[in-house]
Amino acid sequence: MTTTVYSARRILTMNPSQPFASHVAVRDGRILGTGSLDQLKGWGKFDLDDRFRDKVILPGFVEGHSHAFEGGVWKYPYVGYFDRISPEGKRFKGLKNIDEVVAALAVHEKTLPKGTSLLAWGFDPIYFGGRRMDRGDLDKVSTERPVVVIHSNFHVANANSPVLAKANITRDTNVHGIVKDAAGEPTGELQEMAAKFMAYRAAGVELSAVLSDKEAIWRFARVAQLAGVTTATDLHNDLPESTVDGYLQATQSADFPIRILPAFAAGSVAPAEGVPRLQGLMKKNNERLRFQLVKIVTDGSIQGLSARMRWPGYYDGTPNGVWNIGPDDIDRILLAYHKAGFQVHIHTNGDEASEVAIEAVERALAAAPRWDHRHTLQHAQMADAGQFRRMKALGMCANLFANHLFYWGDIHYAKTLGPERAERMDACGTALATGVPFAIHCDAPVTPIGPLFTAWCAVNRLTASGRTLGEAEKISVADALRAITLGAAYTLKLDEELGSIDVGKRADFAILDDDPLQVAPDKLKDVGVWGTVLGGRIFEAPRA
């Protein structure tokens, strides 16, 4: 039984009775106490570890909405507009125009064996002043090898001519999702189901496995850990046997740097089959792996124009989006998991989807009253004050997509939502005011995992173009830090175990170079992450 006391420049505990401390004592992977060195001495013999004396210690960050798919896609080259840190800690510079993307792909192409396809991800043409990529661009990468570039939203892709030729896609192919130029020729841009189908077709059926195998889970854990995350969700997974095996193998290693919570994709099988399956999986839980969450995906995305909107709908007049799981099935599935005692996370982007989900929870509670269910709306990007009041009344939580403000805020302001609704989207201020327990998230790989960046978004609400989107919905740095630690832990029902630095909790820390409460709020995202501590084990991050 060894006890280690760590000194720090400052410790931000998220424990209101002792919000700041200079030392934290750790025993058996748990927090023995915080305070001054003198206050901790009474616990007996200890080793004093001064390695963090210049650092600031926070509770390890909790990412309440991410996908292990982030680790899957890092198998392939990243070609996005913004810099992004790889699982190895390498900084990939953002590519600022289509020529840079093509040049990077051409270099990568030379490294690939003959007969394979080239896949890349993270591409986002919305910053390229209207110019779209076409097959001519990608034919410069190769006219023989299939090349597919997947956009950052994962709903659109670009393909080169060999991909189109293999699928017999010509000017005569008249289906949704095949974009054509003014002359009627397919440009190589593919949308929605066409994009997904062609990407999988080009990559071969092994793509599914590559995206979810043990290595992918490791890469996901590393990317998260580099950002100071100690607990992350994989918030929608069918959980086939192969994936479960990958999880079990990865998390059995003491070097595995995070705790991970996969959420069972409730729409993938009937509840009568899903409930016992999830109950069975929970028996396999270990310190770093928790099966306990359920996810229902109701609608699509706002930027993809597939979110379900209430009147008056999309600002640019686009017809309403689509249900992934319709209102009747949301009721049925939610009730089944609710009755079985599970906490259900419900993806709702548009406000009609939020409305349907809230009403489903209301009906489930009327049918089977339960206390502290904490059913959580995930994204809830368009939820208005009235919906937050209903969520509060029903005991629901929200996990708001703060990163969205930066990456798509400009598009929402100009096209999808219009100024008024864009300014109140991802309404952290309203959540706080109405008392709805909330977290904020990245939805990696849709945006990069980085809770300090996410907190920066909630505090500053700046778009990529520099517009402040909704002064009234800004929250303080302290509230944002709570949202990425204890707030997120609450939405996962782990707040008694994680999320603050308090006696008896797990010794999960984020080790920062600076004090986020001392830096200017607009510099929050630039605070360096030295590494993490997970259950007392130290994980230093390589410097990017």
Partner 1 sequence: MIPFTVIGGFLGAGKTTLLNRLLGEAVDRRFAVLVNDFGALDIDSRLVTAHGGDTLALANGCLCCTIGDSLVTTLLDLLERADRFDHIVVEASGVADPGRIADLAALEPRLQRDGVIVLVDAAEVRERAADRRLTDTIERQIRSADLLILNKVDLVTDPGGDSGADLAALRDWLYRQSQAPLFEACRAAVPMGLLFGLDRLGITADAPPSADFASWSYTWREPVPRQALTDLLHDAQRGVLRAKGIVRFDDSPDRRSIVHLVGRRIEIRDGGPWGDSPRGDTPDSRLVLLGLKPVLGCLKRQ
Closer Cβ to partner 1, 5 or 159, answer by number:
159
Q: Which of 273, 420, 496, 513 binds partner 1 (CB under 8 A)?
A: 273
Q: Are 395 and 373 in contact (CB under 8 A)?
A: yes
The least distance separating partner 1 from the CB of residue 180, rounded to whole angstroms, comes to 13
The 184-203 contact track toward partner 1, x by CB under 8 A, reads --------xxx-xxx-xx--
What is the 3 state secondary structure string of 458-513? HHHCECCCCCECCHHHCCCHHHHHHHHHHHHHHHCCCCCCCCCCCCCCECCEEEEC
- Sign of the dihedral through C-alpha 239, 293, 452, 537: negative
Task: Give min distance, CB of 18 to partner 1, in A.
Answer: 45
Closest to partner 1 by CB, 8 vs 217, is 217
CA distance 198 to 501: 48
Among 1, 183, 205, 366, binds partner 1 (CB under 8 A): 205
Subset of 29-58 contacting partner 1 (CB under 8 A): none
Cβ proximity to partner 1, 139 vs 359, nearer residue:
359
221, amino acid identity: A
Residues 222 to 251 in contact with partner 1, rule: CB under 8 A: 236, 238, 240-241
Q: Which residues contact 509 (CB under 8 A, 6 or more apart)?
A: 24, 57, 58, 59, 60, 230, 501, 532, 533
To the nearest whole angstrom, how small is the minimum distance from the Cβ of residue 244 to partner 1? 13
CB of 87 to partner 1, least distance (A): 24
**Member of 77, 267, 445, 536 binding partner 1 (CB under 8 A):** 267
Site stretch for partner 1 (CB under 8 A), options 44-52, 72-80, 251-259, 264-272: 264-272
Give me the least distance between CB of 205 and partner 1, in Å please: 6
Where do we find the tokens 């060195």? 37
Which string of DSSP letters, residue by residue, matches 169-234? --TT---TTEEE-TTS-EEEEEEHHHHHHHHHHHH-THHHHHHHSHHHHHHHHHHHHHTTEEEEEE
Report the alpha-carbon distance of residue 302 to residue 382 in Å, rounded.
Answer: 9
Per-residue contact flags (x/-) with partner 1 for residues 294 to 333, judged by CB under 8 A: --------------x----------xx-xxxxxxxx----
Q: Report the alpha-carbon distance of residue 458 to residue 431 in Å, rounded.
A: 12
Which residue lies nearer to partner 1 by CB, 334 or 431? 334
Q: Which of 13, 82, 55 has the alpha carbon at shortest distance from 529?
A: 55
Q: Smallest gap, in angstroms, from Cβ of residue 310 to partner 1?
A: 9
CB of 262 to partner 1, least distance (A): 13
Q: How far is the CB of 76 from partner 1 (least distance, A)?
A: 17
Of the candidate spans 262-270, 384-392, 406-414, 532-540, the one that interacts with partner 1 by CB under 8 A turns out to be 262-270
Minimum gap (Å) between residue 61 Cβ and partner 1: 28
- The number of beta carbons lying within 10 Å of the beta carbon of residue 322 is 14
Structure tokens at 415: 């096209």
Buried b / exposed e over 406-433, threshold 16 CB at 10 Å, is bbbbbbbbebbbeeebbbbbbbbbbbbe
Residue 384 binds partner 1, judged by CB under 8 A: no
Q: Is 464 in the site for partner 1 (CB under 8 A)?
A: no
Instruction: Report how far residue 137's alpha carbon sits from residue 79's, in angstroms, rounded to the nearest whole number.
Output: 14
Cβ proximity to partner 1, 205 vs 366, nearer residue: 205
Task: Identify how many contiguous H helices and E strands the chain contains and give both numbers.
Answer: 19, 23
Determine if 392 is a binding residue for partner 1 (CB under 8 A): no
Footprint on residues 146-175 left by partner 1 (CB under 8 A): 167-169, 173-175
Beta bridge partners of 56: 10, 512
Closest CA to 375 of 361, 393, 389: 361
User: Least distance in Å: CB of 183 to partner 1?
Assistant: 20
Nearer to partner 1, 215 or 329 (CB): 329
Longest dimension (CA), the chain: 81
CB-nearer residue toward partner 1: 128 or 197: 197
Q: Does 356 bind partner 1 (CB under 8 A)?
A: yes
Dist CA 450 CA 224 (whole Å): 7
Closest to partner 1 by CB, 178 or 524: 178
Nearer to partner 1, 364 or 422 (CB): 364
Report in angstroms how near the CB of residue 313 gets to partner 1 at its nearest: 10
Per rule CB under 8 A, count of chain residues that contact partner 1: 43
Residue with tokens 């996990």: 399
Give 27's Cβ-side CA count (13 Å radius): 14
Tell me if 431 sits within 8 A of 423, measured CB to CB: no
Interface residue list for partner 1 (CB under 8 A): 167-169, 173-178, 192-194, 196-198, 200-201, 205, 208, 236, 238, 240-241, 265, 267-270, 272-273, 308, 319-320, 322-329, 352, 356
